[in-house]
A and B are shown apart, each in its own frame.
Chain A
Amino acid sequence: MRLSRIQIENFRNFAEVDIKLGENAVIVGENKIGKSNLLYALRLILDSSLPDSARKLRDEDFWDGLPRPLGKDDRIVISVDIADFEDNENQLAVLAEHLVKPEPMVSRLTYEWRPLPGLEGEPKNDSDYEFVIYGGGRPENLVSYQVRQRLPMDIFPAMRDCEGDLMRWSRSPLRPLLDQVAGEVETETLEELAGKVNETTAELTEIEEVKAVATAIEKKLVDMMGKGQSLETALRFSPTDADKLIRALRIYIDGGKRGINDASLGSANLLYFALKALEYEQMVADGDRDHTFWAIEEPEAHLHPNLQRLVFRNYLRPRGSSRSDAAKPSSTVLMTTHSPHVASVTPLRDIVLLRQNEDGNATEAVSTAEIELEAPDVADLERYLDVNRGEVLFAKGIILVEGDAERFLVPVLAKNNGYDLDELGIAVCSISGTNFYPYLTLLGPQGLNLPVAALTDLDPRESKDGKERSPLGYNRVVNSMIAALIDDATLKSCEYHELLSNAPKYGVFLNTYTLEVDLIQSGMATRYAEAIRDCTTNKKMIAWFEQLTDDISDKNAIHLLTALEGVGKGRFAQRLASIIEAPGNTACPEYILKGVKYVANKCQST
């Protein structure tokens, strides 16, 4: 079972969002963007521990953009679609009344905060409203408490006190697990063990020094309260009752050397998650519930980045498993995070991005669940996110480039021209090659719809067998870049040349030759000579560079590229970047500056 879709209207930050979800959901976004509100919206429908009084909303819970006073037709509507439950008869039994699609089955649960029906005139205050929760999109089909009870959402708020809960037995997630076991162990076994524990304890308390302490305590108590009120204290490891023996067990860490109170906050969090996960699995196995929607706010709190990556990589997707696995997990995880480390190991399909809309008056949401990507592309992108620490998910805008050379140089060139990419929140990301298609699909309007530009080389080719050959860049721009940015219908309706000449409109920028050649042409011949001196001791090469001019010939261009391959394009670019970095040093290939401006404009408009 999974949540396949969330729709929200007029609730807090959200004017209108429609989010498609994958298996789990990792909700990424800036502070105050509404991550907690999104979870709260779900709690209104699914949290069985939320009292009905908390389901009564207020005027301020309506989206700010709605003109006040609120009118009769203004309402808050939140709905979730649930899918992949039909093979589980218990889940189907709970959801069968609420279907909105039969094959495959999808059920919908809706929360609505609305003016009382039959209200005369406009609603005046909160008491003119009521909430209803209904299923199948049919308002008359009320959803009973039973649904929340069978498919509950449990929330771990950001301000949780895992350590405290672990310490206090009444709240400890260990308790239900041990309770369960205590009921199953043979009474005789327990009695035998209790006898042994008692013997050992007796030996220990018979030690003179220990005995003295016990006597002193008892004496003090008698002094304070008189004999009649004695508490009959004793020093022991566990209560004498065989029945309570198992419940007296506690968790220790570091091979039993240290107690929970010595654990770091991060470890306490982890331990807490693990115990809770076990408890939830147990509850499903025992038939007390049929699924758990587990909402965790900022699970990364207090965890070292490396540990974050390690834990959540496995947590969100145990290795080697996939959606079609027979043993479906009995819980769905919904987490909010600020951590690029968590985001970077999130399965691609589970990402939900929250951000300000273009008008700046509401939060919009995009998700990766239904972006059209082939399995190998998904795998590549996941690896990319992993290696680059999920940077694209946290950037306001992105400039995609082919390699390290651009990655070093573009930020410097931009800054020299008055665009501080760091300040703007624009990331320059290298795709280490020319296969832009999956990246642009993910990031562009067909996917997360982030401000994105892509810079690419023309890569002209020499003629072969007397035949002219068109540069590699043309086909790349049309087939693997623009094709990822516009829908199929538009793509088919446009001519090749039309697409090519409109490329900058879509955010695709092509140079006139290849990065290194375009750079030198923008007026950097002397800077090249300077840079090559730091990269090589080969005097012949240095001399050759020193004779280069800005208007480089085709023959020299080919030679230049070969030479730079030798010293390493990345290394050379890194050097060059340091050399050219200076305010007012505005030399820059046109296509780069256009790309920077394109993304910067888009970012500033939001």
Chain B
Amino acid sequence: MSPTSARVHKPPYMLAAAQLRSNEGQFAAYNSAGHCVMLAGPGSGKTKTLTIKMARMLAEDVKPPRGIACITYNNQCARELKRRLKTLGVDDGHRASIGTLHGFCLKHIVLPYAQLAKLPKTYPITVASTVETNTIQQEALAQTIGGDHRWERFQRYRRIILDRKSEEWRTKDERAAQVIEAYESILDTKGLIDFDGMVLIGLHLVKENGWVRKALAARFPILVVDEYQDLGHPLDQLVQCLCFEGGMRMLAVGDPDQSIYGFTGAEPRLLRELSERDEVQAVQLRLNYRCGSRIIQASKAALAEDRDFQSDHDEPGVVYMNECPSGLAAQAQSVCDTIIPEALARRDGRKFGDVAILYLDKNDGNIIADAVARKDWQFVRVDGNNPYQPSPVTYWLEDCAAWCAGAWKDGKIRLSELISRWLAFNERLDSPEQHRHARIQLVSFLYNHRAPDAKLYDWLSGFLTHGLQETIDNEPRLRDDKDKVENLLKVTSAEGQLETVTVAFFGGQGGSPDHLTLTTLHSAKGLEYDVVIMVGLEQGRIPNYRNLTGHPLTEERRKFYVGLTRARHEVHLLYSGHYTTFTRRGPWRHDDGRSQFVDEVESSLLGG
């Protein structure tokens, strides 16, 4: 070694790796050299391990100009990974491409190669907005089987049976095949591509063309997949094709027990089978750093399967049972009047941001949100009835608002990151001069609007006139975001649900210590809280009365399991023993008792 290189500073990932050394599974994953599946239970430090391993591979295994592609479940997960990687000195960009499955397929497969592979498409390809896909779905139904149908059934069919030439595709659900074929042909003639289309066309290109696999493997010798259990058949096939035929090295991370997107075509067995392949090193992360031992015991009972998880906590945690006989509204009231105030008081420094209320669907969300709003507490709501729906642009707007509300002082959000994300949205700006102009426009707006108490409506409408409107109007890939931003403006205007909301409130939607979290069980995935309050736990709702046996029941179990395992210290289970559905003949009360999962948890805890 030369004298000059003797004083080399260790890169951040090497320092961080010291934290993995004492955990057998984490360290095995850190040292893996070939295909590797990391099976990671809740709170097992999977994101930490994944990001440190990625930083290591970028430094040691993959030399410039080649890089690593990382696919994850949604934009939120991607945002979290990027944030964690940044602390390890890895910037998202050319060498580490982090994004969603459809983002990866569109950017790295469809746009560069669809035309070269002579796929019969109209170019340039435009991404269909939600409004357009909805219209086309209706058209497709009208053209084929007619009538009113839930689109999920067809979507699931499209995602599960991938071989269009197969007997299965034509015969298993003949009507679904008809509808989907009509739907896709309408999209095609309009030159549009939808989110599933990006993935399906991407998969097709990779399967059919050796040169596409070769090009991808050259650019990304390593493919990392996070949340594998949620990504379904198309991803599974893409991984098999790229990694076992195309020569890419795979690092897949996930937890079959947390697979709760069965209705979109995800299946826990895909990850399990992948981990059982001969050429794959499977690593199990057993230590749970999040949940207290009693919470782990409760979650195992809910899963009804034995898992070799161990808590790393000194505190066992507490599971509280709360019966509120008069229904969900009473549960909500009890949460706001008693449970939350007591929970906050029980531990020093505990804030609203440490507490989450988990429920089954957006209707429950309305009832909870009303109760919380009456208390005048700040909260973040994540469900289908959220006054505005998230999209990459609304996430980015939240961060801009957080910057304006104070992050410009403490540096929690970097202006440079806001700028680079903004420029990435603005694909039509393709010269340094235009980029300079866009940058100046954005910075001057943000700088001049650093006021936490300004009304969100004023802030947002000002933003729209400073380039935002022009961008969402003109960027073909932001058409869906355009609807969402405009809807956001509507709900913040007079008479809207968020009329009184401030920039600081909106900025806190991306996660803030002062905001209580209201979320559906599905959307709680990947998050963690000191205190988790689960409401509406009635037999017939969870498990749903249609899913009382077999695979459907195990999927319900996993959903409940995901909820429980969000908690570090406290779980509150609320139930009334009955629930009401609204039928054509009016409300119908079901007295089926509390959820069987609550029974099972209770007897397991009593027994233990």
- The number of residues on chain B lying at the interface, defined by a beta carbon within 8 Å of a beta carbon of chain A, is 34
A-B residue pairs in contact (CB < 8 Å), sample of 15: A89-B217, A93-B66, A93-B218, A93-B219, A96-B112, A96-B218, A97-B112, A102-B117, A105-B215, A130-B433, A131-B431, A140-B428, A150-B65, A183-B5, A290-B65
Which of B3, B66, B215, B428 touches A243 (beta carbons < 8 Å)?
A: B3
Q: Are B219 and A139 in contact (CB under 8 A)?
A: no
In chain A, what residue has the closest Cβ to B437?
Answer: A116
**Known pairs A90-B63, A101-B116 / 12 extra A-B pairs, C-beta < 8 Å:** A90-B66, A96-B218, A97-B108, A97-B219, A102-B113, A102-B209, A102-B211, A130-B432, A130-B433, A132-B431, A134-B430, A136-B112
Complex Cα–Cα for A100 and B113 (A): 9
Complex Cα–Cα for A117 and B437 (A): 13
Chain B residue numbers with a CB within 8 Å of A101 are 116
Q: Are A146 and B214 in contact (CB under 8 A)?
A: no
Q: Are A93 and B431 in contact (CB under 8 A)?
A: no
Task: Mark B residues whose CB is within 8 Å of A.
Answer: 2-5, 63-67, 94, 108, 111-113, 116-117, 124, 209, 211-212, 214-219, 221, 427-428, 430-434
Q: Are B116 and A96 in contact (CB under 8 A)?
A: no
Chain B residue numbers with a CB within 8 Å of A134 are 430
Q: Are A144 and B66 in contact (CB under 8 A)?
A: no
Q: Give the 6 A-B residue pairs with the shortest CB-CB distance, closest first.
A: A92-B218, A96-B215, A130-B431, A183-B2, A93-B66, A93-B218
Complex Cα–Cα for A182 and B124 (A): 54
In terms of DSSP, what is the predominant structure of the interface of chain A? mixed
Residue A228 interfacial (CB < 8 Å): no
Complex Cα–Cα for A138 and B434 (A): 18
Q: Are A94 and B113 in contact (CB under 8 A)?
A: no
Chain B residue numbers with a CB within 8 Å of A184 are 2
What number of A-B contacts does a CB cutoff of 8 Å give?
A: 84
Complex Cα–Cα for A560 and B209 (A): 71
Closest chain A CB from B30 CB (angstroms): 24
In chain B, what residue has the closest Cβ to A144?
Answer: B94
Q: Are B430 and A96 in contact (CB under 8 A)?
A: no
Complex Cα–Cα for A52 and B433 (A): 11
Q: How large is the interface on A (under 10, 10 to 19, 20 to 34, 35 or more residues)?
A: 35 or more
Q: Are A89 and B113 in contact (CB under 8 A)?
A: no
Chain B residue numbers with a CB within 8 Å of A105 are 211, 215
Q: Are A182 and B2 in contact (CB under 8 A)?
A: yes
Complex Cα–Cα for A290 and B427 (A): 28
Closest chain B CB from A137 CB (angstroms): 9
Complex Cα–Cα for A141 and B428 (A): 10
Chain B residue numbers with a CB within 8 Å of A116 are 433-434
Residue A99 interfacial (CB < 8 Å): yes
Closest chain B CB from A273 CB (angstroms): 27
Which of A103, A131, A146, A287 touches B211 (beta carbons < 8 Å)?
A: A103
Considering only residues 111-157 of chain A, those with a C-beta below 8 Å from chain B are: 116-117, 130-132, 134, 136, 138-142, 144, 146, 150
Residue A187 interfacial (CB < 8 Å): yes
Chain A residue numbers with a CB within 8 Å of B117 are 102
Q: Are A89 and B433 in contact (CB under 8 A)?
A: no
Complex Cα–Cα for A604 and B337 (A): 102
In chain B, what residue has the closest Cβ to A150?
Answer: B65
Q: Are B2 and A287 in contact (CB under 8 A)?
A: no
Chain A residue numbers with a CB within 8 Å of B5 are 183
Asked, given contacts A102-B209, A183-B5, whether A93 binds B65 with beta carbons under 8 Å apart, the answer is yes
Closest chain B CB from A132 CB (angstroms): 5
Which of A140, A183, A187, A243 touches B430 (beta carbons < 8 Å)?
A: A140
Q: Are B2 and A89 in contact (CB under 8 A)?
A: no
Chain A residue numbers with a CB within 8 Å of B3 are 187, 243
Residue A64 interfacial (CB < 8 Å): no
Q: Are A99 and B430 in contact (CB under 8 A)?
A: no
Chain A residue numbers with a CB within 8 Å of B217 are 89
In chain A, what residue has the closest Cβ to B67?
Answer: A93
Asked, given contacts A102-B116, A102-B209, whether A96 binds B428 with beta carbons under 8 Å apart, the answer is no
Closest chain A CB from B420 CB (angstroms): 13
Which of B116, B209, B218, B427 touches A100 (beta carbons < 8 Å)?
A: B116
Most chain A beta carbons < 10 A, residue from B65, B111, B117, B432: B65
Asked, given contacts A140-B430, A183-B4, whether A94 binds B112 with beta carbons under 8 Å apart, the answer is no
Q: Are B94 and A92 in contact (CB under 8 A)?
A: no
Residue A459 interfacial (CB < 8 Å): no
Complex Cα–Cα for A131 and B430 (A): 9
